[in-house]
Structure 1
Amino acid sequence: MFLKMRSLFVIVIFSLFFLVSCNEYQKVLKNTDVKAKYDLAEKYYNEGDYKRAKRLFEQIAPKYVGKPQGERVMFFFANSYFQSGDYYLSGYQFERFIKSYSQSDKLQEAVYLEAKSYYELSPKYSLDQTDTDKALSRLQNFINTYPESEFFEDANAMAQELTIKKQKKEIEIAKQFDKLGEFNFPILVSAIAALDNFIGDNPGSVYREDAFFYRLKAAMNLAQNSITSRQPERYQEAREYYNALMKSYPETKFLKKAESFNDKIKKELNEVEETLTK
């Protein structure tokens, strides 16, 4: 019985505290006293109540432009958006802070959090990667500018993750070109060109082996479906792509399929040689 009464007492006290807090927030929110808004906003910020804090900072931020407290207000305002998960607005507000307070002690952290805001907005690889590009640009800027920063390793890891995501999108587009090219040969030429570029531009990519194989596959499709007069040249090109794959990845995961392509290449080129010697 005592425990039940004690629990009920705690609930009542908590409810009263919550109501007082809500009343205080609503009262200050409607008030014109900027100092009161500032004090309560900072109180909420320090307590981790970022949703209430950002609402108050939003109201007072214009009032502190050009004033000594302006830098502090703008940083807290931007970070309140970030901590609340509102990454579009945190990215925007941190960008404003960086432009307005280029000598701030908080500049490094602001540059990092602006980049991380766009990192959080980066969608899965199959969608538009505009925010990924923004994040990579800002992360690279941070990495280049602050190599000794405490945030450096985290920024570098985020940049690597987003780079792999971009590479995955590129390789999937090239694979789609290859698939469509089975019925549209000019697309096969585009697939080969795209994979050539991918291999050249991404020497350390986790998808590089895939690019080597799908370039070979596209070249085989092109050779098999070409007019007779163009087949020797295109099978020869396919053989070069096979050799390149095996040189870079002698134990490739695509070994069985690659070997079957090579057998086909040998057979076709031998037939051409026999025809020429007759």
Structure 2
Amino acid sequence: MMKRIGLLLMVPVLLTLGGCSPFSRVQKSNDYSYKLRMAEQYFVKKKYNFAQQLFEELLPIYKGTEEAENMLYKYAYCAYYLEDYLSAEGIFKQFIESYPKSEMVEEVDFMRAYCYYKQSPKVELDQSNTEKAMGAMQAFINMHPTSPRVKEAGNIIDICRQKLEDKEEQAAQLYFNIGYFRAAAITFAQVLEDYPDSKKGDFYKLMVVRSDYEFAKISVEWKQKERYETVETEYRDMVDRFPESKLLPEAKHFNILSENLIKELLNEQAKEAAGG
């Protein structure tokens, strides 16, 4: 019981001490130059939360002064280092608009695009920020073609493009797995069209062949011949486009199955015609 009373008595003391923290004293100060010095110190010491609060207060006060450019620059980085990439992107944009001739514009322009990249989610989720990152990085390359960051920007574009490709492939594979074979064929074909230089191009084409075969197999009889012929067409296209592919034997298997089934259908039709 005495311990509990002792703890309760200590709470006001702790709260008082907390209220007199060094940062609280800085916040309460009316000396703006002192606050700015402290904001710079907090930034250097990587205490970005403290620095951010002070810069946010001081920016309207120092607007139009020589100090404002550097303050806004560091304010943007505070948000970035605190992993608030949405706010950081907006502040980097504000910097570019406010100081278009600044020697830091190239760096800031890259960082704005990089914030979109940092917001790019897992493949399964919406990829709007991935697309924005690609667009922003390409714009950076176009605006700053001699920048040493061009190579990194190009690499990020490649990473984003691969993520978008993976998302499309996952969608196509899902259609196939749940038995939506026509949708799978269309989507795999679209992936190949969107990413013609993909290392998995022959796999996408194989999946078109396989999906079309599975679709033909479950079709009504009077549609099967036409749909097996589609398999043959897609197989010939695969041979033309990927003559060295190691996946050709598997595609050929579905083509042979389709040829044989077409023959069976024609034989059945001939027998029915003869019997009629």
Once the two structures are TM-superposed, the CA of residue 249 in structure 1 deviates from its matched residue by: 3.3
SS at match of 2:66: coil
Could you say which residue in structure 1 is the equivalent of 2:121? Answer: 123
5+ residue gaps, structure 2, are 1-16, 272-276
For 2:98 and 2:181, the matched residues in 1 are separated by: 51
Could you say which residue in structure 2 is the equivalent of 1:14? Answer: none
SS at match of 2:52: helix
SS at match of 1:69: helix
For residues 204-215 of structure 1, the aligned pairs below 5 Å read: 204-215=197-208
Flag the 1:30–1:134 CA change in 2: closer, same or farther, 3 A.
farther
Once the two structures are TM-superposed, the CA of residue 228 in structure 1 deviates from its matched residue by: 1.7
Once the two structures are TM-superposed, the CA of residue 238 in structure 1 deviates from its matched residue by: 0.9
Asked if 1:56 corresponds to 2:54, the answer is yes
Once the two structures are TM-superposed, the CA of residue 273 in structure 1 deviates from its matched residue by: 4.6
Query: In structure 2, which of residues 200, 225, 235 is the aligned counterpart of residue 242 of structure 1?
Result: 235
| Larger Rg over CA atoms | 2
For 1:146 and 1:268, the matched residues in 2 are separated by: 59
For residues 13-92 of structure 1, the aligned pairs below 5 Å read: 23-92=21-90
CA distances 1:69-125 after superposition (whole Å, capped 9, x unpaired)? 222111110012213332222112112212222222211111100111111111110
Could you say which residue in structure 2 is the equivalent of 1:153? Answer: 151
CA distances 1:49-84 after superposition (whole Å, capped 9, x unpaired)? 333322221221222223222221111100122133
Could you say which residue in structure 1 is the equivalent of 2:183? Answer: 190
What letter is aligned with 2:43? Y
Could you say which residue in structure 2 is the equivalent of 1:13? Answer: none
For 1:83 and 1:218, the matched residues in 2 are separated by: 47
SS at match of 1:170: helix
5+ residue gaps, structure 1, are 1-18
- What is the percent sequence identity of the aligned residues? 28
Could you say which residue in structure 1 is the equivalent of 2:195? Answer: 202
For 1:51 and 1:247, the matched residues in 2 are separated by: 60
For 1:65 and 1:205, the matched residues in 2 are separated by: 50
Alpha-carbon contact 1:167-1:207 (below 8 Å) kept? no
For 1:252 and 1:30, the matched residues in 2 are separated by: 71
Query: In structure 1, which of residues 250, 259, 270 is the aligned counterpart of residue 263 of structure 2?
Result: 270
Range that drifts further, 108-117 or 29-38:
29-38
Alpha-carbon contact 1:191-1:218 (below 8 Å) kept? yes
CA distances 1:193-235 after superposition (whole Å, capped 9, x unpaired)? 2222222221112342332122112111111111222111111
Alpha-carbon contact 1:196-1:215 (below 8 Å) kept? yes
For 2:148 and 2:248, the matched residues in 1 are separated by: 44
What letter is aligned with 1:64? Y
TM-score, normalised with respect to structure 2? 0.82
Range that drifts further, 267-276 or 135-144:
267-276
Number of equivalenced pairs? 253
TM-score, normalised with respect to structure 1? 0.82
For 2:258 and 2:66, the matched residues in 1 are separated by: 75
